[in-house]
């Protein structure tokens, strides 16, 4: 069997979004599953809209997702001669012809057809004229007037397109640049692509491309059209749904393994398994399990998967991942063992690296900032005597979770206060907030010195002194 070869051919006219990333992932997985080759190709023939910064950001996003390409990146803008060569061949063999119809006239006919309720398409005026190339002329493919072309789609099965629905579409524009159809077919052919996996918004392009392969005397690749991704409201996924570029998810503190895991399940399933490691995805991915109906984007599920992968990441690795987020908050980086111990307490709670960094803040600042509401409610003069007693006891006690818990329970009994009545003011003194990881674990990690300093400051604050 021929070596499997897939491709991802983005147009660098924007950043990589979820839809494109899923297409890239499916192509990459299919290639990896079959020990094949994955090609990256930039379809940058639209000089107006293509930008080098989008090339860079798409590459960066693919690399971050771990979707490394084996070949390329190719740039269509550097292959114009190849497309012209193929166009020349089609013309010389009589499979394509030059058309001199002025654009205004085509536009007039198009409007007429629409007004009469007919499908607008080229009417074949120049088809038999035998015109040579010349200024202002476009090259069109001679589509057989009758019959049909069947797309044997690997996901949907056969889909037939009547040739009367397809017109003699353009291959070369009057300025000599190739259209998408010509460039994509020549590329897929010359690069030896065996499987084209793409969004089903391209399904109607496929019969045209198959006809083009046939005109070139070549075997078309296999096609698989993946149903599109809808927003939670059932409409086509767009920015409106908060569907951001892949790199924005990275900025928000998502992990690549979570995004990959989320994307693989958008339209593909394996029983009811939700969590997939990269190895599992590669092993299990195949096109027969791709759904035929549209997938729905669910940001909450993505967040839940991210929380899962965050918990599954070893602390040492997670510490590396969280550092850029700590720096962004302007926090000093502590010693590695302190950071990892602190991180272990927020790991079960944080859903993103950004949240984890925010939750770590109190561990790292010199002085915590009291949330006004928390301070008003818990740092009150009545608690001062309890805090004073605690301060004295904390000079002595061993800083383990058990010893600290014993101390607090003893204190509750002695004062007749509920444990929570003591714990909350201490929590606010230590973290500035009413919600935090377990009190005894944070005390143990902060250590005696920081705990005493923060409790003294809180005492000072609630007694009306400067905070």
Catalytic residue check, 239 = yes
Short-list 275, 290, 222, CA closest to 29: 290
In the bound complex, what is the minimum distance in angstroms from residue 43's beta carbon to ligand GLU?
4
In the bound complex, what is the minimum distance in angstroms from residue 97's beta carbon to ligand GLU?
25
Q: Taking CB under 6 A as the rule, does residue 225 contact ligand GLU? A: no
Q: Give the residue with the Cβ less far from ligand GLU, 127 or 156.
A: 156
Q: Give the residue with the Cβ less far from ligand GLU, 12 or 437.
A: 12
What is the three-class DSSP state of 5? strand
Q: Taking CB under 6 A as the rule, does residue 10 contact ligand GLU? A: yes
Name, in order, each residue with C-beta under 8 angstroms of 314's C-beta and a sequence gap of 6 or more. Answer: none
Length of the chain as a residue count: 467
Q: Taking CB under 6 A as the rule, does residue 198 contact ligand GLU? A: yes
Q: Which of 111, 119, 239, 420 is catalytic?
A: 239
Q: Which of 11, 174, 361, 415 binds ligand GLU (CB under 6 A)?
A: 11
In the bound complex, what is the minimum distance in angstroms from residue 207's beta carbon to ligand GLU?
13
What is the three-class DSSP state of 83? helix
Size of the site for ligand GLU (CB under 6 A): 7
In the bound complex, what is the minimum distance in angstroms from residue 11's beta carbon to ligand GLU?
4
Q: Give the residue with the Cβ less far from ligand GLU, 9 or 256.
A: 9
What is the three-class DSSP state of 217? coil
Q: Taking CB under 6 A as the rule, does residue 184 contact ligand GLU? A: yes
Buried b (16+ CB within 10 A) or exposed e, 309-342: bbeebeeeebbebbeebbeeeebeeeeeeebbbb
Q: Give the residue with the Cβ less far from ligand GLU, 184 or 307.
A: 184
- Give the separation between CA 225 and CA 201, rounded to whole angstroms: 8
**Cβ neighbours of 142 (radius 10 Å):** 16
Short-list 25, 78, 89, 35, CA closest to 290: 25
Q: Candidates 4-12, 112-120, 255-263, 271-279 — which segment interacts with ligand GLU by CB under 6 A?
A: 4-12
Distance of CA 201 to the CA centre of its chain: 19
What is the three-class DSSP state of 42? strand
Q: Candidates 9-17, 411-419, 421-429, 444-452 — which segment interacts with ligand GLU by CB under 6 A?
A: 9-17
- Give the separation between CA 284 and CA 277, rounded to whole angstroms: 11
Structure tokens at 308: 């899962």
DSSP structural state of residue 322: H
Q: Taking CB under 6 A as the rule, does residue 181 contact ligand GLU? A: no
The answer to whether residues 101 and 131 touch, using CB atoms and an 8 Å cutoff, is no
Q: Which of 16, 22, 43, 375 binds ligand GLU (CB under 6 A)?
A: 43
Environment class of 86 (CB within 10 Å of its CB; exposed 0-12, middle 13-18, buried 19+): buried
Q: Give the residue with the Cβ less far from ligand GLU, 197 or 357.
A: 197
In the bound complex, what is the minimum distance in angstroms from residue 6's beta carbon to ligand GLU?
10
Q: Taking CB under 6 A as the rule, does residue 153 contact ligand GLU? A: no
**Cβ neighbours of 396 (radius 10 Å):** 9
How far apart, in Å, are the Cα atoms of 359 and each of 133, 329, 368, 442, 467? 68, 11, 12, 12, 22
Q: Give the residue with the Cβ less far from ligand GLU, 149 or 436.
A: 149
Q: Which of 9, 19, 253, 256 binds ligand GLU (CB under 6 A)?
A: 9
Short-list 63, 59, 48, CA closest to 13: 48
Q: Give the residue with the Cβ less far from ligand GLU, 202 or 349.
A: 202
Q: Which of 95, 202, 323, 354 binds ligand GLU (CB under 6 A)?
A: 202
- Give the separation between CA 256 and CA 249, rounded to whole angstroms: 9
Q: Give the residue with the Cβ less far from ligand GLU, 49 or 376.
A: 49
**Interstrand relation of 5-8 and 37-42 (parallel, antiparallel or unpaired):** parallel
Q: Candidates 6-14, 215-223, 259-267, 292-300 — which segment interacts with ligand GLU by CB under 6 A?
A: 6-14
Binding to ligand GLU in span 306-365, by CB under 6 A: none
Q: Taking CB under 6 A as the rule, does residue 21 contact ligand GLU? A: no
Q: Candidates 5-13, 86-94, 284-292, 336-344 — which segment interacts with ligand GLU by CB under 6 A?
A: 5-13
In the bound complex, what is the minimum distance in angstroms from residue 45's beta carbon to ligand GLU?
9
Q: Which residues are catalytic?
A: 239
Footprint on this chain of ligand GLU (rule: CB under 6 A): 9-11, 43, 184, 198, 202
């Amino acid at each position: 069997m021929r070596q499997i070869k897939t491709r991802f051919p983005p147009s660098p006219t924007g950043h990589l979004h979820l839809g494109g990333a899923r297409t890239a992932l499916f192509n990459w997985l299919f290639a990896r599953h079959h020990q094949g080759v994955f090609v990256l190709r930039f379809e940058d023939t639209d000089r107006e809209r293509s930008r080098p910064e989008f090339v860079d950001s798409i590459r960066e996003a693919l690399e971050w997702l771990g979707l490394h390409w084996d070949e390329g990146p190719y740039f269509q803008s550097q292959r114009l001669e190849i497309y012209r060569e193929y166009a020349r061949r089609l013309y010389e063999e009589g499979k394509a012809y030059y058309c001199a119809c002025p654009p205004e006239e085509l536009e007039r006919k198009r409007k007429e057809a629409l007004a009469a309720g007919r499908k607008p398409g080229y009417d074949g005026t120049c088809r038999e004229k035998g015109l040579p190339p010349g200024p202002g002329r476009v090259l069109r493919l001679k589509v057989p007037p009758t019959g049909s072309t069947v797309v044997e789609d690997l996901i949907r099965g056969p889909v037939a397109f009547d040739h009367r629905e397809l017109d003699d579409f353009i291959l070369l524009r009057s300025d000599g640049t190739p259209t998408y159809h010509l460039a994509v077919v020549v590329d897929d052919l010359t690069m030896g692509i065996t499987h084209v996996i793409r969004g089903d918004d391209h399904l109607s392009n496929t019969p045209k491309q198959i006809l083009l392969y046939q005109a070139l005397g070549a075997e078309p690749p296999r096609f698989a059209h993946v149903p599109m991704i809808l927003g939670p409201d059932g409409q086509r996924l767009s920015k409106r749904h908060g569907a951001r570029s892949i790199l924005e998810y990275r900025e928000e503190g998502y992990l690549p393994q979570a995004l990959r895991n989320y994307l693989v399940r958008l339209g593909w399933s394996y029983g009811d398994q939700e969590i997939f490691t990269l190895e599992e995805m590669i092993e299990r991915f195949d096109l027969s399990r791709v759904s035929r109906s549209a997938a729905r984007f669910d940001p909450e599920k993505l967040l839940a998967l991210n929380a899962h992968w965050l918990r599954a990441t070893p602390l040492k690795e997670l510490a590396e991942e969280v550092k850029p987020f700590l720096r962004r908050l302007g926090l000093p980086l502590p010693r590695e063992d302190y950071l990892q111990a602190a991180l272990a307490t927020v790991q079960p709670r944080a859903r993103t690296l950004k949240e984890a960094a925010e939750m770590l803040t109190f561990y790292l600042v010199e002085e915590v900032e009291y949330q006004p509401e928390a301070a008003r409610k818990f740092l009150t003069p009545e608690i001062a005597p309890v805090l004073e007693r605690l301060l004295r006891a904390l000079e002595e006690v061993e800083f383990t979770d058990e010893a600290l818990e014993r101390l607090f329970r003893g204190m509750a009994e002695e004062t007749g206060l509920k444990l929570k009545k003591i714990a909350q003011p201490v929590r606010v003194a230590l973290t500035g907030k009413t919600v935090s990881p377990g009190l005894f674990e944070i005390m143990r990690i902060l250590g005696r010195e920081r705990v005493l300093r923060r409790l003294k400051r809180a005492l000072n604050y609630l007694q009306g002194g400067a905070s």
